Amino acid sequence: MTEIAQQQDWGQLQQNLFQHFAEAASSVLSQITGVLLQAQTTPLAAASEAATLLRIEMTGSLQGLCEICLTTPMSAHFAALLTGETPETANEISSDTREAAAELIQQICGNAADRLRRAFGPLELKPHLAERDPGTGTRQLCVIARENGALEFEVNILRLALPPEFAAELHAATQCASQNSQQSAGTGAGEAATSQSTNRNLDLLLDIELGVTLRFGTRQMLLKDIIELCSGSVVELDRRVEEPVELLIDGRLIAQGEVVVVEGNYGLRVTQVATQGDKLSCLP
């Protein structure tokens, strides 16, 4: 692999990591707020002053270290989302606020880990609170737009490595995508070649395992109500018993059906299925 190709692959790998964190943030915050939120990233030249900093160790198919940093105002807003309370407005935040903000970021890391596993294979993200002194690395700002003002946090990649076999796969995928892009500009035989290449790529993805979730319903709860949960507590959901259960992949609705029992385990008898395009959109 040439040096230029290596630089292109590593640049794409870093951008993929930023994108997965952005998508994880939009997914988690959308569930908390009950409003569909979109996130986007933009490069940053320098770090902001961090009030909450989580250092994240990556092990497995991706190996490295990155950080998520929150300023004081953003720490207060993230904590308020988790607790349901009014954000603090002081120049300094309390330790409880900092820990609540870190808890929400840890949820985002968990969602990001699921997305990264589907793209790169088995890996673990291990986040922990660190000193508020960000390291030096490749940094981007993640912005989640809302009606009453955006939420922001910074992602900083301190180091990142792929085992040799994964590096080879990344380069091959990049080359294949580039070839497909060039072929799509042609006609006749070029279009046929693109179609065949796309089919081969799809065949490579068909053996990837994806996490499937059955959703019986949802409910927004305050942190204090969650803490008070005990044996015998009843949590009422927003869906009636006769309504169909949803089958989700990566947060996307793929099918609906009714719950059945299969050899002592829960199952789903599918009654309605999404379009082929919607199902394929769940592939990494």
Region 230-250: what's the mean pLDDT? Answer: 82
**pLDDT score at 169:** 55
Among 135, 162, 189, the domain-final residue is 162
**pLDDT score at 263:** 76
For position 66, which CATH number holds? 3.40.1550.10
Distance CA 284, CA 282 (A): 6
Distance CA 192, CA 157 (A): 40
Mean pLDDT across the chain: 79
Say if strands 245-249 and 252-262 run parallel, antiparallel, or are unpaired.
antiparallel
Is the Cβ–Cβ distance between 247 and 254 less than 8 Å?
yes
Distance CA 239, CA 251 (A): 17
Among 153, 175, 205, the domain-final residue is 205
Judgement on whether residues 180 and 226 belong to the same structural domain of the protein: no
Which residues, in sequence order, are CB contacts of 243 under 8 Å at separation 6+? none
Is the Cβ–Cβ distance between 24 and 41 less than 8 Å?
no
Judgement on whether residues 36 and 114 belong to the same structural domain of the protein: yes
The SS3 assignment for 99 reads: helix
pTM: 0.59
Distance CA 165, CA 58 (A): 17
Structure tokens at 33: 């707020």
Confidence of residue 246 (pLDDT cuts 50, 70, 90): confident
Judgement on whether residues 14 and 117 belong to the same structural domain of the protein: yes
Judgement on whether residues 229 and 199 belong to the same structural domain of the protein: no
Among 205, 230, 258, the domain-final residue is 205
**pLDDT score at 274:** 66
pLDDT tens per residue across span 93-145: 888 999 999 999 999 999 999 988 888 888 899 999 998 888 888 999 999 98
Judgement on whether residues 190 and 71 belong to the same structural domain of the protein: no
On the CB side of 27, CA atoms within 13 Å amount to 20
Judgement on whether residues 224 and 113 belong to the same structural domain of the protein: no
On the CB side of 228, CA atoms within 13 Å amount to 7
* Full domain range(s) for residue 44: 3-162
Number of domains within the chain? 3
